[in-house]
Amino acid sequence: MSRIRIKFCGITREEDALLAADLGVDALGFVFSRRSGRFIEPEQAALICRRLPPMVSKVALFMDDDPAWIRAVLSAFPPHLLQFHGSENALDCAATGFPYIKAVPMASITDVASYATAYPEAAALLLDAHVVGEPGGQGTRFDWSRRVQVAQALILAGGLDAGNVAEAIRCMRPFAVDVSSGIEASAGVKDPARMRAFVEAVRGVEHER
């Protein structure tokens, strides 16, 4: 099996970001939507990222946020990618000029292929278990037996942890996996043992034929 990229989302602490980098995590997600319990001020996120080594991607997550707020965040925190988790349309997502990931609310969407055609410029689609209007990071999963064939790269999220991520990868064959609550002690506070176990589980399934 080819290498699976890993994104840790909902980073709020420097020590969690540095451990993720040490573990070889590919991307870190910072939540700038105030409705989330994992919200972080952009200036604090920028300070954390100054301590990171190179080659770790920074992702800024928004959910139906005001364009003025998005611009303010991006002026303080220049990311590599944006992630839109709400009902933003393709024009909204492309307006910043940054490459972006669009979350798919799998609890509400039955035809992912049609949904994908509405976001032709998306760098990837993130399949999450939430319904439209709800934030992610709820620790729930969707049916991994659903067949999804789209042009965009697929990122699998929703209820993942060290105990089930291998099964999820075998079922969905994603480009990447995204985890938040599955590596936490509490919202926004990561658990080092769970972080390590998650990465080990992903790396283990990569060696399967």
Output the CA torsion sign for 122, 128, 132, 135.
negative
- Which of 65, 128, 161, 178 is labelled catalytic? 128
**What is the CATH architecture assignment of 5-206?**
Alpha-Beta Barrel (3.20)
With vertex at residue 70, the alpha carbon angle to CA 65 and CA 76, rounded to the nearest 5 degrees, is 145
The residue assigned the tokens 């949904």 is 115
Q: Is residue 167's pLDDT more than 70?
A: yes
SS3 string, the chain, reads CCCCEEEECCCCCHHHHHHHHHCCCCEEEEECCCCCCCECCHHHHHHHHCCCCCCCEEEEEECCCCHHHHHHHHHHCCCCEEEECCCCCHHHHHCCCCCEEEEEECCCCCCHHHHHHCCCCCCEEEEECCCCCCCCCCCCCCCCCCCCCCCCEEEECCCCCCCCHHHHHHHHCCCEEEECHHHEEECCEECHHHHHHHHHHHHHHHCCC
- Is 93 known to be catalytic? no
- Is 9 known to be catalytic? yes
pLDDT digits 0-9 by tens, 180-196:
999 999 989 999 999 99
Per-residue pLDDT at 101? 98
Per-residue pLDDT at 138? 61
- Which of 9, 16, 49, 93 is labelled catalytic? 9
Q: Is residue 137's pLDDT more than 80?
A: no
Say how far apart CA 102 and CA 193 lie, in whole Å: 30
Report the predicted TM-score, pTM, of the whole model to 2 decimal places. Answer: 0.93
The domain locations on the chain are: 5-206
Per-residue pLDDT at 112? 87
Calculate mean pLDDT across residues 99-109.
89
Q: Is residue 122's pLDDT more than 90?
A: yes
